[in-house]
Amino acid sequence: MIHISVNGQMQMIEDGVDPKTPLLWVLRDHLNLVGTKYGCGVAMCGACTVHVDGKPVRSCQLTVGDVGTKAVTTIEGVGKTPIGAKVQAAWVEANVPQCGYCQAGQIMSAAALLSHTPNPDDSDIDAAMAGNICRCGTYIRIRRAIKNAGAKSV
Amino acid sequence: MKKVSIALAVVVVIALGYSGWLYTGHNATSFASGSTVALEDYKAANPTGVPAELADKDLVTRGEYLSHAADCQACHTEPGGTPFAGGFAFNMPFGTIYSTNITPDKETGIGNYTDAQFLNAVHKGVRANGENLYPAMPYTSYTLMTDGDALAIKAYLFSLAPVSSPAKVSNLKWPFNQRGMLPLWNVMFNSGERFRPNTGQSPEWNRGAYLAEAMGHCGECHTPRNVAYAVNNHRKFAGTLTAGWHAYNITGDKESGIGDWDEASLFSYLHTGHAEGHGGAAGPMGEASDNSLTFLTEGDIHALVTYVRSVPARNSDLPEKVKTPASASHKEGDAVAGLDGVRGEKIFAGACMSCHEWTGVSPVTHYATLTNVRAVNDPSGTNVAQTVVNGVDRQTPQGRIYMPAFGEGYSDDDIAAVSNYVTARFGAKGATLTGKDVADLRNQASQKKAATKEAPNG
Amino acid sequence: MANSKFVESDAYFSEMIREIRGMPEAASSSTMGRRTFFKLAGAGTAGLVLGFHLPAMAATAEDAKNLTMNAFVKVAPDNTVTIYSKCPEIGQGIKTSFGLIIAEEMDADWKHVTVEQADINPKVYGSQGAGGSTSIPRNWDQLRQAGSGAKAMLVAAAAKKWGVNAADITCRDSVVTHAASGKKATYGELAMAAAKMPVPDPKSLKLKTRAEYRTYGKRNKGVDDDKVVTGQPLFGLDVQRPGMVYAHYTKCPAAGGKVRSFNEAEIKALPGVLDAFALEGTGVPAECMPGVAIIAKDTWSAFKAKDKLKVDWDESEASKDSTSAFSAQAKKAAAGAFPAEHDDNVGDVEASFANASKEGNGKVIEAYYEYPFAAHTPMEPMNTTAHYRPDGMLEMWVPTQQPDRGMAMMAKSAGLKVEQMVLHQTRVGGGFGRRLGNDYACEAAAIAMKVKAPVKLTWTREDDQQHDFFRPAGYHKFKGAVTKDGKLDAWQEHFITFTVDGKKEVSGGNLTENLKLSTKAPNLRRGKTMFPLIIPTGPWRAPGDNAQVFAHQGFMHELAVAAGKDHVQFLIDAVNRDVPDLAPKLPTINFSPKRSSDVIQMCADKIDWKKPRAKGTGVGLAWCYSHAGHTAQAVELSVDENKRIKIHRIVAVMDVGPIIDMSGSEAQGQGASTDALSTAMGLQITIENGRIKEQNYNSYPTLRMPFAPMAIDVFFIQSENPPTGLGEPAFPALAPALTNAIFAATGDRIRSMPLRNLGYSLAV
Ligand code: FES
Ligand code: FES
């Protein structure tokens, strides 16, 4: 049986789940954590981004068997961290979401960025966010929200 | 008048190539110490045929194994087409030729071939109708194959469903379209000899030699060719550009070859097409891996490792690989100078970083780690660019290895920029590809993937 | 040879485009008169719950009982006001706007308002689609009446309680005040009493005037932003039901292929697979096409099994379409004679050409424009959850743009009656017109009938890209004349498009009425050629306009250049030309030369049109009348020697009437401009032997952050007109503004999209 730590809780993955199953589908279909989104399945869109030991990782590519003892944080749990909460607040403040489907992934990428670069410049933002597609075109507000979140100390 | 002088030049070139080839290049295994004997005089073990595990299987099963060992399918199958029905394009500097249908179809395949005719094709490159095959068919390697093994392959091919698939018309420039010149070429470059074991080497080495030379024809891609397009064994396995991809130096040279690979890594690479810490096979090697090597028994892979490691080290001006990951910050580390460096970085950030990370160490799968990978440490950037264009899509016994192909969505300029960036950031020295170079590489690559190949999730 | 079921499907989409592009004011006013309010039965302790009653589709008492949650407004004793948003939220911000409209009209305190998604019940709500930027114009009156009616009942309750005249009572921020007596009560305190008041006649209500609006045009947050940023389950893909199983559905990669057989035993034996079966479907692309369903215990098992699926397809009637062949054919057709039959014919183009080509009399120019097929690719792949319940009802959770009309198709695909359907509208992860079709929901409905459990169907991204209703490619051969004083004199257009039935253009492939109204030349002639097409097409953000405006506004610029006229002046002159034959035939059409000129002029001012610019830098402008909105867009950019385009600034000026929510409106303007840039630069769908080549984002390079423009300024002219929608009008004029700017910067005239095929790319 596979055990993984998600949002600070140890989760047992039921028997019969192939360890090669991408973390994305285990979160969504087995742990009812549907905030993490499926967009492309090939690491091209970023909708499925979660944190693994604090780093942004595409959960459509990481198999549940490869998670091991690392701590997984999803959009449902990131608000419990000061940086995550700050990013979420900045997102609401800037009214970023349009359809909103990409935004969980965007927020996870942004929170990871701010955790190692508290005051990111444009180049940092490009480097961290280029892998997240927003089909609705909310990029201007995403950039603004990240800068606003960065400007506020935790 | 012009044609005659070109023909004359060709003859001269072939003659020149021949003399050089005679000197050291003609015998694939002459590098090894010890003396060779005829197969029937070799008593230590039988280096030919199928491994012991399969010895008591029927002829067709044995032939199937051997057809994998000889990697017939890769070249005789059009992407997306029926296996062995031919139509695969070889884009060569002097034109395009297509592989033929080797299913037992009587009209368009080899259904009417007698054993003797089949052996003639395999050993001598001569068709049933007497026409000469182009040496894209590796008969100068297959000539080492025993009659028994070749006929087992024939039995296997004849067990397949016949497919009607007429030959595509080759399109070669003059004088290469003159098949009449091939007998001359064959006299000079095809030894016409069966495999001769070496009594000074171990049975395992001899098995490896047979697999590598008579069956797998490794040298056809990994050994540079001379001016007359014949493999030049005095640079045996030292690496060369084949079909737009760099077939790397697989001699024991520490810097440019595989001298720093341990036994286990080599075994893993040959067995699965991937070795942790060294990267994985893509392009033609990926195909060789998926269609041929992954079908071989572990014993045969060990034999191949033994043989390959005995080939003398040859330096091939590839730099030593960088073995440490790049910085976690995109702002630190080697980058390409100028505007296109920034462009390469931004493209990498959007299309590549998710899997390969700024460090080059993948957070999702070791298949995607770039550190210490030969292609990334090749300052020509050839295989990096090809991989970006064509992606990787391999079915291995361990599962599917997939990287999207960016060739349709990204311009030549952008692929050049990102390839230069990747080689600079993660490798020994940045490539200096231009968009034009990438366009050329695209043209040289043997054939595009089928149009509607689906990604692994869908 | 046209397949009748493909014709049926195409007609559905064509009709939808007509409807959504159509006449917003007419749509709402025609039904207004027949509508009355009703209070909902059984709402006793809930407070005041108010809905509408349409006599034409009389809701029964039974309906009303079930409709507690289906009203527009609910005022609870705890002073919370709940507003039910009847249309799908697809990213256009409608849930926020609808809430604001009702709250404004009833003077509710926005802080105490929550907005909920209404379920689907056309009997109560009327049309519930979201498409064509019509949600606001269509529902403007109805929503205001809902707010006003609720307020009237609260006021009536207060008047009765206090024994005062209702006319002396005022409302503000959910508080009712009688100024003379100083009496005050909150809406919550009055809710129970208000529920007992007679419902007012909608015609008796006095709606607020412009001067009385207090909340419109302010910047609000999205009503669901908090939920979106914390990952709450809102979207179709997020639906979870007890005992749910997961499905994938494989259709023929070439549209129209049928299943002969598949490796059923092998698939059923795969790990996690619960069942596998082929469906014939209805054979209509907008409904359920033939395919193979795989049911599994989770999505991944279904996807994995699908990798192993081998289907023997009967492709005898399947698409063999090829985009490269279309391009070649079109070029040939364009070079040939002008079609003998004319779609429009005003004045005498031949005479104008003859005259203008005489030395010193003017100029005649010709040009050929083309653009490719395009996919919608909303970020949320198509999906639906469906449960055929033991009680014989089919309950469905669908991320759709067109639930009310889709319902009948879903029922048909399941072999049920519409009365057996219960439809829940989920939030939608992007529409762009894709979800006006409900094919995925129809598939889920058909699958659910064979599965004894709730089942969630999920398409892969690759499914999404290959089984789309594409924006059709188009080809325009223009010939135009300008007079010697620099005025547009003749416009001739040979439009090459596609047809399914051999008679009409495919859906999205007809020259839009918008362009016919706004292209004003005294001599004008249009004709068309149609190629047969099987690949299904459909509405795509600003259908027709999204690409046709590129061709039209590009050629318009060419004419201005040929005329030696300032482009802005040329456009203003042209749109103000009085050509009676081209005037709108219906009074409900709000096309206005004045509003057009105003947006053009303001856009020119905002981009500093006349400012001299360095070599290699240029500014381009274009405009359109689209979806009842008037928009002009301008781009300032520079281009380097490697054809890399640096966008300095984008300006969009729109007149869509009053703005309800400024933040959301600005977001639509910026988002549509970004989308349009992304599409113009890089996106195309190539078809080979009926198969779609671009299957995922690696070959469909949607714009990413480092390349996205960061300076997009959106301005609104808030004219005294009823509001119209703006999900679409900010899309069409961007591409020609871009290419006109490139011409200004480099002299290179761009006549085809995407620009990456011409070697252009966006600079970093
Ligand atoms: S779903 Fe994982 S990156 Fe798109
Ligand atoms: S908000 Fe819709 S995709 Fe980003």
Residue B451 has pLDDT above 60, yes or no: no
Contact C688, A153 (CB under 8 A): no
C314 and C329 share one domain: no
Residue at which a domain ends, from C458, C485, C507 = C458
| Nearest Cα residue in chain C from B341 | C764
CATH number at residue C513: 3.30.365.10
Residue at which a domain ends, from C431, C458, C485 = C458
Residue C533 lies in a domain: yes
Quick one: C658 exposed, middle or buried, by C-beta within 10 A (0-12, 13-18, 19+)? middle
Beta strands in C453-537 (DSSP E): 455-458, 474-483, 488-499, 523-532
Q: Give the tens place of pLDDT for each residue, C570-607.
A: 999 999 999 999 999 888 889 999 999 999 999 999 99
C447 and C360 share one domain: no
Considering chain C, what percentage of its residues have pLDDT values greater than 90? 80
Residue B7 has pLDDT above 80, yes or no: no
- C466 lies within 8 A of chain B by CB: yes
Contact A96, C220 (CB under 8 A): no
Contact C235, C426 (CB under 8 A): yes
Flag if B364 and A66 touch (Cβ within 8 Å). Answer: yes
Q: What's the Cα-to-Cα distance from B135 to each of B86, B230, B444, C414, C729, rounded to whole Å?
A: 16, 9, 18, 60, 62
Please provide the DSSP assignment of C675-718 as one string.
HHHHHHHH--B-EETTEES--STTTS----GGGS-S-EEEEE--
**How does the average pLDDT of chain C come out, rounded?**
92
d(CA B15, CA B33): 29
Interface of C with A in 356-375 (CB under 8 A): none
Confidence band for C29, pLDDT divided at 50, 70 and 90: very low
Please provide the DSSP assignment of B186-254 as one string.
HHHH---PPP--BTTS-HHHHHHHIIIIIIS-THHHHS-B-TTS-B-GGGTTS-EEETTEEE---SS-T
Cα-to-centroid distance, C732 and ligand 1 (Å): 29
- B39 lies within 8 A of chain A by CB: no
C607 and C754 share one domain: yes
Three-state helix/strand/coil letters over B92-159? ECCEEEECCCCCCCCCCCCCCCCHHHHHHHHHHCECCCCCECCCCCCHHHHCCCCHHHHHHHHHHHHC
Domains and CATH numbers, chain A: 2-74 (3.10.20.30), 78-151 (1.10.150.120)
- A101 lies within 8 A of chain C by CB: yes
Confidence band for C501, pLDDT divided at 50, 70 and 90: very high
Flag if C704 and A135 touch (Cβ within 8 Å). Answer: no
Range of the domain at C720: 323-374+470-762
Cα-to-centroid distance, A104 and ligand 2 (Å): 10
**CA–centroid distance for C651 within its chain:** 22
Average confidence (pLDDT) over C516-539: 96
Residue C23 lies in a domain: no
C178 and C286 share one domain: no
Confidence band for C51, pLDDT divided at 50, 70 and 90: low
Q: Considering only CB atoms, which chain B residues are within 8 Å of C463? A: 458
Q: Tell me, what amino acid is at C626?
A: S
Residue C2 lies in a domain: no
Smallest Cβ–Cβ distance between C230 and the set A75, A131, A142 belongs to A75
Confidence band for C71, pLDDT divided at 50, 70 and 90: low
Residue at which a domain ends, from C167, C194, C229 = C229
Residue C2 has pLDDT above 70, yes or no: no
C554 and C438 share one domain: no
Confidence band for C62, pLDDT divided at 50, 70 and 90: very low
pLDDT given at position C35: 52
C669 and C539 share one domain: yes
Interface of B with C in 310-369 (CB under 8 A): 339, 342-343, 346, 349-351
C240 and C224 share one domain: no
Flag if A42 and C240 touch (Cβ within 8 Å). Answer: no
Q: Give the tens place of pLDDT for each residue, B37-48.
A: 999 999 999 999
Three-state helix/strand/coil letters over C258-282? EEEEECHHHHHCCCCEEEEEEECCC
Flag if B457 and A42 touch (Cβ within 8 Å). Answer: yes
pLDDT given at position B446: 58
C210 and C339 share one domain: no
Q: Give the tens place of pLDDT for each residue, C141-182.
A: 888 888 998 899 999 999 999 999 999 999 999 999 999 999
Cα-to-centroid distance, A4 and ligand 2 (Å): 29
d(CA C734, CA C247): 40
Cα-to-centroid distance, B88 and ligand 2 (Å): 43
Give the total number of structural domains in chain C. Answer: 3
C426 and C532 share one domain: no
Q: Which atom of ligand 2 is nearest to the CA of C379?
A: 3
d(CA C661, CA C216): 6
Determine the Cα angle at B323 with ends B433 and B243, to 5°. Answer: 40
Q: Considering only CB atoms, which chain C residues are within 8 Å of B350? A: 704-706
Residue B239 has pLDDT above 50, yes or no: yes
C91 and C53 share one domain: yes
Determine the Cα angle at B453 with ends B450 and B456, to 5°. Answer: 155
Residue C4 lies in a domain: no
Average confidence (pLDDT) over C310-318: 96
Q: Give the tens place of pLDDT for each residue, B388-411.
A: 999 999 988 778 899 999 999 999
Residue C242 Ramachandran class (φ > 0 left, ψ -120 to 50 alpha, else beta): beta
Please name the residues in contact with B120: beta carbons below 8 A apart, sequence gap of 6 or more: B126, B127, B128
Residue C635's DSSP bridge partners are C620, C650
Q: Give the tens place of pLDDT for each residue, A54-91.
A: 999 999 999 999 999 999 999 999 999 999 999 999 99
Q: Tell me, what amino acid is at C291?
A: G
Residue located via tokens 């640096």:
C646
C565 and C451 share one domain: no
Q: Which one has a higher pLDDT value, B315 or B96?
A: B315
C296 and C333 share one domain: no
Residue C21 lies in a domain: no
d(CA B370, CA B361): 6
Average confidence (pLDDT) over C395-402: 96
Residue C26 lies in a domain: no
Domains and CATH numbers, chain B: 2-27+47-193 (no CATH), 334-445 (1.10.760.10)
